[in-house]
Structure 1
Amino acid sequence: MGLIVKTGKIAITGGIATGKSTVARMFAELGAIILDADQVAREVVEVGTPCWKSLHHLLGPAFFEKDGQLKRRKLRDCIIDDRECRNKVNAILHPSILEKMEQEWQYHHRTHPGRPVIFDIPLLFEGKFHPHFGTIILVYVPQEIQIRRLMERDGLSRPEAEKTLTMQLPIDSKKSLSHLIIDNSYSIDHTKQQVQAVWNQLKN
């Protein structure tokens, strides 16, 4: 399996409710090719794939619809509530996600030489993907803003929002591991200015 080696590859990450997807779209508008790890994760568990078979063996039929589709909400609840479940599921998914993203990077690197390719990986650090990247961009907001946005966006109580955040590495820990920080705490124009500045660095 061809893993992503640590080169000039670029990743963007963040935390829940930091606005990473919005920032990734800004980079796409500037001309970046965005490779979405969430989309890849959906593809690798399509019915009949090796990952699907491994998950079916691990979790049992209760986690699957009659047509074989994975019950994503049920899996999400299991991952939130059970660390052992989370670790076993990640051990199945992450190698296949890395391999498929490497294949996509090779394709775009070959067909669009010189155009920055950015891997959009929400769980970059939690999944231990970060050693494979030379440049890591973090979309940052303070944890208190994460909690407030999560409550507003998903209709969660404060305890529920705080529990959801425990699934991820604290945002300030991610900040210390990243190379470039985009603070998304303020206005959209403020964020766009930072994105443009980072883009200029990537292009150079």
Structure 2
Amino acid sequence: MATYRQPLRLGLTGGIGSGKSTVGQILASLGAALIDADQISREVTGPGGAAMPAIQSTFGGAYVDASGALDRTRMRQLAFSQPKARSQLEAIVHPLVALHSQQRIQQAIQSGAPLIVHDIPLLAESGRWARQLDAVVVVDCTADIQIERVMQRSGLSADAVRGIIASQATRTARRAVADVVIANEAHCTLEQLQAEVRQVAALFGL
């Protein structure tokens, strides 16, 4: 394996329902600094979040819930039906996520973290990450397993989950950018997944 700079920067990605977030949590428990783009996005679109004034100005109060946060269900419906709305939302949220991510990266470096893991749902769709990462880990499973998991945890219909999967990079495209693939199929128990993640972590000195 190549010699990497310290701290190593690892990209973690996978389709919805793949178990990517669970893998990120396991890596964090092993000592990695986890930079979770989804979590940061939820923070900036939460009550009083930095993105909320622009969201309200752009989309109107109907897309802000009673707590002052983004109404995710209504916005999800709009974003999937109107690509322009999705682009407008991304133009508001993504720069803020990038800013907050950079702040947390600096904190991780200052704290001496040996590995920084970037949890990036749309890594395969974005061309900007390749230059910033030492390696990419993809959490992989079949679409049927994705649908089953998401339906169980969120209550979405199978068709709704298929729509989300169709809007993301294909399984083939994600695997094409991977340096390491973690298989998290239906038969994989949490203990087996933890063991697999520990093996991957060891590759990067964690």
Distance 1:50-1:151 versus aligned 2 partners, 3 A rule: closer
CA gap of 1:65–1:26, structure 2 versus 1, over 3 A, is closer
Letter in 1 for 2:120: I
Q: Figure out how many residues of one structure are paired with residues of the other and give that number.
A: 197
C-alpha RMSD of matched pairs (Å): 2.3
In 1, the alpha carbon distance for the partners of 2:144 and 2:202 equals 30
Please list, as runs of the form range in 1=range in 2, the aligned pairs for 1:1-204 lying within 5 A after superposition.
8-46=8-46, 50-66=50-66, 68-111=68-111, 113-126=112-125, 128=127, 130-131=129-130, 132-185=132-185, 186-188=187-189, 189-203=191-205
Query: 8 Å contact 1:94–1:127 — kept in the other structure?
Result: no
Q: What SS does the aligned partner of 1:151 have?
A: helix
Does the CA contact (< 8 Å) of 1:15 and 1:140 recur in 2? yes
Query: What code does the residue aligned with 2:188 have?
Result: S
Q: Decide whether aligned partners of structure 1 residues 128 and 89 sit closer, same or farther in structure 2, where only a CA change above 3 A counts.
A: farther
The 2-side partners of 1:126 and 1:82 are apart by: 19
Identity of aligned residues (%): 28
- Distance in 2, matches of 1:50 and 1:19, equals 28
DSSP 3-state at the match of 2:174: helix
Question: TM-score, normalized by length of structure 1?
Answer: 0.84
The structural deviation recorded for 1:48 is: 5.5
Of the structure 1 ranges 78-87 and 40-49, higher mean CA displacement relative to structure 2 is found in 40-49
Q: Secondary structure at the match of 1:65?
A: coil
Which piece of structure 1 moves more, 81-90 or 62-71?
62-71
The separation in 1 between residues aligned to 2:49 and 2:27, in whole angstroms, is 32
Farther off after superposition, 86-95 or 44-53 = 44-53
Gaps of 5+ in 2: 1-6
> Structure 1 residue 194: deviation in Å?
2.1
- Following superposition, the deviation at residue 49 of structure 1 comes to 5.4
Q: 1:156 and 1:75, CA in 2 relative to 1: closer, same or farther beyond 3 A?
A: closer
CA distance in 2, matches of 1:158, 1:50: 33
Structure 1 61/133 Cα, relative in aligned 2: closer, same or farther at 3 Å?
A: same
Q: Distance in 2 between matches of 1:116 and 1:80?
A: 35
User: Deviations for 1:121-167, whole angstroms, at most 9, x for unmatched residues?
Assistant: 22323455533322211111022322233334434443232112122
Distance 1:95 1:127, change over 3 A: farther
CA offset at residue 28 of structure 1? 1.9
TM-score when scaled to structure 2? 0.83
CA pair 142-49 structure 1, distance change in 2 beyond 3 A = closer
Task: Report what 2:4 is aligned to.
Answer: none
CA contact (8 A) 2:124 2:173 kept: no
